[in-house]
Structure 1
Amino acid sequence: MNLSNNLTPSLSLPSIRLAIYPYAKDKTFGLLAKVDHIVFKQNGYIAIDKGEQCPERQAVQVSSHDCRLGKWYCEGIGLEEFSETAAYSSLETPHADVHHQVQRAIELIQKDWISDQGIHNQLIESVKRFESASTEVMTLIDDMVEQKHQPSASTD
């Protein structure tokens, strides 16, 4: 959203606040959703590193609908505020892929990935895939906010 295009010198301070507040609120909600996603990913890395039963491993053994971002997306503010955007409908696949690949990587570290080059390569590929999907998730969250606040292209 380019606020300078929406704010003209004739607007009063209360009008400016009304124009900025909804965008700032949604941007903040998007940032909180991204933090939840980063925490999930960090727990995945810790679980991969520890390679054993640990709280972080348990934290990532949830579906993409049951994690904090999934709840935001499926039943919370994400659904309420952003479901009309194109980016919203695109989020589910990369988000599910992050979960699948993190869980796959955790499965692979239970095998002899140090000695078996094939398993080692699969582990590296899973990490690359969840990082790629994660980047897409982060971009789509930003896109949802921007799409919601784009000026409508109505013709009068």
Structure 2
Amino acid sequence: MAQSARQAMDRITFVHDVSFISLAKVDMLFYKQNAYIGVITGGDSKESHSVVDVDMHDCRFGKWYDQQSHNGYASVPAFGKIREPHAALHENMRDAMALAAKDWERSASNRHCILEKFRAAEAASDQVFTLLGEMVDQRHQAQGVELF
């Protein structure tokens, strides 16, 4: 009975972690969506400010990430790899917004630069998403949890 209860708790913890990571991904999608909307609506829009005014430490995921030094995630390899692509996501989105503040509608080279920044941000985002999944798997594997 005790073993069965332990397995149930392990599975509940895993599902909780997967749910949390899914919410983190949704937050990042929302952040990126605001950048795309911000380019179209201009630098003074609320969407634009939500991108430009938020760095990798001020977004919801960044705040959580920075507080994890004493948590089970900090000890898994994927956790340490997230910082770089997460920073690149924010940097590229901010750069795209700065370029969009210029005359992007009339400048083909400026549009090209904006697209390159968005591509780099999307690549960084893909890395973060992959690492988040690996982070959960590694955490639970390290704890010897038999999942499903």
- Tell me, yes or no, whether TM beats 0.5: yes
Aligned pairs, number:
143
Q: 2:95 aligns with which of 104, 113, 122?
A: 104
The 8 Å contact of residues 63 and 99 in structure 1, kept in 2 or not, is answered as yes
Q: 1:66 aligns with which of 54, 58, 70?
A: 58
Q: Which runs of 5+ in 1 are unaligned?
A: 1-9
Give the TM-score, by structure 2 length. 0.85
Are residues 128 and 79 of structure 1, via their aligned partners in 2, closer, same or farther at CA, if it must alter by over 3 Å? farther
State which structure, 1 or 2, has the greater radius of gyration over its C-alpha atoms.
1
State the percentage of identical aligned residues: 32
Give the TM-score, by structure 1 length. 0.81
Q: Distance in 1 between matches of 2:2 and 2:71?
A: 29
Q: Which runs of 5+ in 2 are unaligned?
A: none
1:146 aligned to 2:137? Answer: yes
1:75 aligned to 2:67? Answer: yes
Structure with the larger RCO, 1 or 2 (CA within 8 Å, 6+ apart): 2
Over the aligned positions, Cα root-mean-square deviation in angstroms equals 2.2
Match of 2:40 in 1: 49
Runs of 4+, deviation exceeding 3 Å:
10-13
